[in-house]
């Protein structure tokens, strides 16, 4: 019985949910239909063995002997008990979901439907007045609220047509407007998601993007676009569909996004924020875009949106540290790293992630010996950190003018070539970095101004390379020395 649906579902319950389920099963709502306390005994027995991690006690014969001790064997008796108990557990789940997640407006709407069918029209009128007040405040509305808004208008239309004989546009137009608002809000949501994905993995042609924008703005005379949210979403779609937006204009959009934060659902705002961060990353060679990127990441940290249950992912931790170091915000980065030292989650222990980022910190602050020492103290299994550590080690040896630099570059090139667990695009960026380091470290490059300018143009023409910002910085320094 260890693989039964009942055991599988009960295995997901935490301690507080276990207690509430037992109380639920002992309530008159459930016990009135039962002749015994066997379902409570069964659930308690399963919870006890799951909590003690003793699945061996959950086999058929063991359970039967515990629940029906001293009673004669009856064929299919245990199976029927499991089936009946599972039905009650599912009722409990429905009850939990309703009580925890149901909005007050949803409860009112259910009451209105019930009272309408019973003919209690005075109470029904009062409930719809309460619902109208709820509809007036549209801050942080998401799919759920727009759906409920339409359901309210639909229910109101049916109620008024039935009771007050109101027909036509008097109460049907608002239902259509609510349905249109639901459609457009969802249309914008999925369009933003597509554009966001397209920034990471380009799949949409300029024509596709134009068609998406045009379709999302239809019908242009919709009441939805006269609202603050509708107007903002329409303008935002045009802004975020451009690939070559000046940093100042993009920063103005980010400021406006922050102002509209109270009006956007957390889910929709997170998509906008993710889109803005991805956009800045793609333009991070521009110092002004890096300023915007750091401000976005810093605000995200200070408002706690990058933590899940008090933890931050290893990849996001690395990205925040890297951008902060690029902006020379050393004090802020140091504090951020130590505040989250034990809160980094991934496939490795948090300390390994911390040590890599600490090595990166020492590198950016010019303590190259210390950076190398810290870097080599940890073993990096997670691919993002493994390859980032290889790149960092090469950069450290370059800054230290180490004799082992050529061999490190060659070893990295071979490793990148043979790597099978990374995406082709990322693999190409790593391999190109190794090739570019070979060009930079050639003795003639440092004294050949034309050669340096040629390498700078190469990066400008094709910026798809790992450590682009650092490479440009090194070439700029070489160019200054070649005068």
Paired tokens of 247: 């940093």
Paired tokens of 136: 């007036």
Q: Can you list the pairs that 395-401 forms with residues at least 24 positions away whose Cβ atoms lie under 8 Å?
A: 395/363, 395/467, 395/470, 396/363, 396/368, 396/371, 396/372, 397/372, 398/437, 398/440, 398/441, 398/474, 399/363, 399/368, 400/368, 400/369, 400/372
pLDDT in tens, 98-116: 887 888 999 999 999 999 9
What CA–CA distance (Å, rounded) separates 219 from 212?
13
pLDDT of residue 166: 56
pLDDT of residue 138: 81
pLDDT of residue 208: 87
Contact 321, 337 (CB under 8 A): yes
pLDDT of residue 430: 92
For residue 271, pLDDT over 90 is answered with: no
What CA–CA distance (Å, rounded) separates 451 from 482?
11
For residue 249, pLDDT over 60 is answered with: yes
What CA–CA distance (Å, rounded) separates 142 from 138?
9
Q: Which of 4-8, 339-343, 460-464 has the highest mean pLDDT?
A: 339-343
What CA–CA distance (Å, rounded) separates 319 from 305?
15
Report how far Cα 104 is from the mean position of its chain's Cα atoms: 27
With a CB cutoff of 8 Å and minimum separation 6, the contacts of 241 are 195, 209, 212, 213
pLDDT in tens, 158-186: 888 887 765 545 568 889 999 999 999 88
What CA–CA distance (Å, rounded) separates 189 from 191?
6
For residue 285, pLDDT over 80 is answered with: no
Intra-chain end-to-end CA distance of the chain, in Å = 80
When mean pLDDT is compared across 54-58, 272-276, 367-371, the lowest value belongs to 54-58
pLDDT of residue 391: 95
| Residue spans per domain, the chain | 5-101, 104-186
Within 10 A of 198 (CB to CB), how many other CB atoms are there? 17
**Residue carrying structure tokens 């914008």:** 188
For residue 120, pLDDT over 70 is answered with: yes
pLDDT in tens, 122-170: 999 999 999 999 998 888 888 889 999 999 999 988 888 887 765 545 5
**pLDDT grade for 273, boundaries at 50, 70 and 90:** confident
- Torsion angles phi and psi, residue 162, rounded to 5: -75, -45
Paired tokens of 468: 């682009």
pLDDT in tens, 315-374: 999 999 999 999 999 999 999 999 999 999 998 899 999 999 999 999 999 999 999 999
DSSP 166: -
Within 10 A of 184 (CB to CB), how many other CB atoms are there? 23
**What single string gives the DSSP state of each residue in 321-336?**
HHHHHHTT-HHHHHHH
pLDDT of residue 397: 95
Residue range 297-319: mean pLDDT, rounded? 89
How much is the pTM? 0.69
């Amino acid at each position: 019985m260890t693989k039964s649906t009942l055991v599988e579902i009960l295995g997901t319950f935490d301690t507080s949910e276990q207690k509430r389920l037992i109380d639920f099963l002992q309530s008159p709502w459930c016990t009135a239909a039962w002749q015994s306390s066997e379902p409570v005994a069964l659930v308690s027995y399963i919870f006890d063995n799951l909590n003690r991690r003793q699945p061996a006690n959950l086999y058929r014969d063991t359970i039967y002997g515990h629940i029906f001790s001293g009673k004669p064997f009856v064929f299919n008796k245990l199976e029927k008990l499991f089936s009946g108990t599972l039905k009650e557990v599912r009722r409990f789940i429905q009850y939990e979901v309703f009580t925890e997640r149901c909005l007050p407006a949803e409860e009112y709407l259910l009451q209105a439907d019930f009272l309408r069918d019973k003919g209690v029209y005075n109470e029904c009128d009062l409930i719809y007045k309460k619902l109208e007040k709820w509809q007036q405040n549209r801050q942080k509305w998401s799919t759920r609220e727009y759906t409920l808004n339409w359901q309210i208008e639909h229910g109101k239309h049916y109620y008024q047509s039935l009771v007050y004989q109101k027909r036509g546009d008097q109460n049907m137009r608002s239902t259509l407007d609510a349905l249109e608002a639901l459609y457009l809000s969802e249309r914008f949501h999925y369009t933003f998601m597509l554009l966001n994905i397209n920034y990471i993995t380009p799949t949409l042609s300029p024509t596709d993007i134009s068609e998406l924008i045009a379709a999302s703005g239809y019908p242009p005379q919709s009441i939805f676009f006269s609202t603050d949210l509708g107007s903002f979403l329409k303008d935002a779609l045009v802004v975020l569909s451009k690939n070559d937006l000046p940093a100042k204009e993009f920063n103005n959009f980010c400021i406006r996004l922050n102002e509209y934060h109270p009006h956007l659902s957390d889910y929709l705002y997170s998509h906008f924020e993710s889109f803005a961060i991805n956009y800045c990353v793609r333009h991070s060679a521009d110092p002004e875009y890096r300023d915007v990127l750091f401000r976005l990441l810093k605000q995200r940290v200070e408002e706690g949106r990058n933590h899940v249950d008090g933890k931050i992912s290893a990849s996001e931790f690395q990205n925040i540290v890297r951008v902060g170091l690029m902006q020379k915000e050393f004090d802020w980065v140091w504090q951020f790293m130590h505040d989250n030292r034990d809160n980094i989650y991934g496939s490795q222990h948090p300390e390994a992630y911390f040590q890599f980022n600490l090595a990166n910190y020492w590198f950016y602050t010019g303590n190259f010996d210390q950076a190398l020492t810290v870097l080599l103290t940890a073993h990096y299994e997670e691919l993002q950190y493994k390859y980032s550590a290889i790149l960092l080690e090469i950069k450290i040896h370059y800054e230290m003018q180490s004799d082992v630099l050529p061999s490190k570059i060659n070893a990295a090139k071979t490793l990148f070539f043979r790597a099978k667990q990374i995406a082709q695009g990322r693999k190409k960026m790593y391999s190109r970095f190794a090739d570019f380091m070979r060009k930079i470290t050639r003795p003639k490059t440092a004294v050949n101004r034309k050669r340096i300018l040629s390498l700078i143009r190469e990066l400008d023409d094709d910026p798809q390379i790992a450590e682009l910002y650092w490479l440009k910085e090194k070439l700029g320094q070489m160019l200054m020395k070649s005068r």
